Amino acid sequence: MASRFRHNLLLGLSIFVLMVLVLAPFYWIFSSSIKLPQEIISATPTFVPHSFTTEHYDKLLGESSFPTYMRNSIVVAVGTMAITVVLSTLAAYGLYRLRFPGRITLFRVILITYAFPGVLLLVPMYQMMSKLKLVDSLTALVIVNVTLSAPFAVWMLQAFFRTIPRELEEAAALDGASRLGIIVRIMLPLAAPGVASIAIFAFITSWTEYIFSSILIISEANRTLPVGLAGIIGQYQIDWGLLLAGATATTLPVLILFSLVGRNFVEGLTAGAVK
């Protein structure tokens, strides 16, 4: 019993330390975002706010372009997520099921493209978007983000499809199901955790992408959150309260998405890792 207690204590302590490490920065950002400016920059930091104000949020939502940035980020992230899910699902199934020369090589090439530093694509991507007249459009960001997230999504989904018994597909085929029907009715439901995982992965990739957004987007009206927040900070003077309120508000859509599909995401990661 004592040994078991010690083990549980160790596990509990590990969880506690991890939670502190993970949650403390979020708590600090949120709690500071509701402090008065004087308390935020106080030489003696206060763990529990001594003051309360919503002025930073009022300014963020009322005086800055944050709502525009948020809307743009949501549009780009949802677009990226949708296209990544559809393309990756079909591509992963094709790589898993179809037998053609160079299939394995193609699969490896897709994975290598994921390891390729995205920043090296900056100049050719800008020139390509310029020729397509897509500079300063959210469509350009959707295309870039799909390019960045789809390779890993294909690799991950392919691992899921491998875990599904081939007999299920054969049975469906005997019953007259088409290839697309098999994907939609059999494979997708069984790979739901994997689909949820790549959906969230694509969403977060898009949500946090900075470099391409900063170069490809020119107008204030098309800025996404990471670039918009960098602008709010300013060079010589920093409005710390506004920055902290912006950081807090930026995490909200991600938290909402996780709360909706988080369970599938965890299951997906586990399944992808073990099976």
Partner 1 sequence: MRSKFVPILVLLLVAAMVLPSLPAQARQDKVEITLWHMEEPTNRVERIQTLIDEFNAAHPEIEVKQEPQNWGEIYTKAPAAIAAGNAPELLFAIPDFTPILKDLGALQPVEDFVAELDAEHPFYPATVEQYTYDDHTWAVPLYNMSQNLWYRKSVLEAAGVEVPTTWDEWLAAAEALTTDAQYGVGLPAAKNLYTDQVMYDLMIGAGASEIYNDDGTLRFNNPETVEAYDMYNQLLQYSPVDSPNWAWGEAEACFANRTCAMVIQFTVITTYDTQAEGDAEDLGVAPIPYKEGVEDPGTIAYANAVMLLTDDPAKKEAAETFISWLLQPENYGRFLNMEPGLFLPVTEDGATADSFWEDPLVVKYQDQVQTMIENSTSGRLFGFTSGNTFPSIASISAQNLLAQTLQLVAIDGQSPADAVAEGQSLMESAIED
What residues line the site for partner 1 (CB under 8 A)?
Answer: 37-38, 40-43, 59, 63-65, 75-76, 78-83, 85-86, 122-123, 126-127, 130, 135-139, 141-142, 184-185, 188-189, 214-215, 218-222, 227, 230-240
Least separation in angstroms between CB 117 and partner 1? 15
Nearest to partner 1 of 3, 38 (CB atom): 38
Nearest to partner 1 of 110, 146 (CB atom): 146
What does the alpha-carbon distance between residue 86 and residue 215 come to, in Å, rounded to a whole number?
27
With 0-12 CB in 10 A as exposed, 13-18 as middle and 19+ as buried, what is 83?
A: middle
CA distances from 174 to 39, 97, 133, 169, 250 (A): 70, 17, 48, 9, 50
Nearest to partner 1 of 8, 42 (CB atom): 42
What does the alpha-carbon distance between residue 118 and residue 113 come to, in Å, rounded to a whole number?
9
Residues 6+ apart with CB under 8 A from 58: none
Produce one character per residue of 194-216: b if its CB has 16 or more CB atoms within 10 Å, e if not: bbbbbbbbbbbbbbebeebbebb
Q: What is the dihedral of CA 143, 147, 152, 157, to 10 degrees?
A: 50
Nearest to partner 1 of 8, 39 (CB atom): 39
Q: Give the other-Cβ count within 10 Å of 117's Cβ.
A: 7
Nearest to partner 1 of 192, 254 (CB atom): 192
Least separation in angstroms between CB 151 and partner 1? 18
Least separation in angstroms between CB 207 and partner 1? 15
Least separation in angstroms between CB 29 and partner 1? 16
Nearest to partner 1 of 54, 127 (CB atom): 127
Q: Are 214 and 125 in contact (CB under 8 A)?
A: no
Least separation in angstroms between CB 32 and partner 1? 12
**23 φψ region: left (φ > 0), alpha (ψ -120 to 50), beta (else):** alpha
Least separation in angstroms between CB 87 and partner 1? 10
Nearest to partner 1 of 41, 109 (CB atom): 41
Closest alpha carbon to 169 in 158, 191, 156, 185: 185
Q: Give the other-Cβ count within 10 Å of 86's Cβ.
A: 11
CA distances from 12 to 3, 4, 235, 263 (A): 14, 12, 44, 22
Least separation in angstroms between CB 265 and partner 1? 16
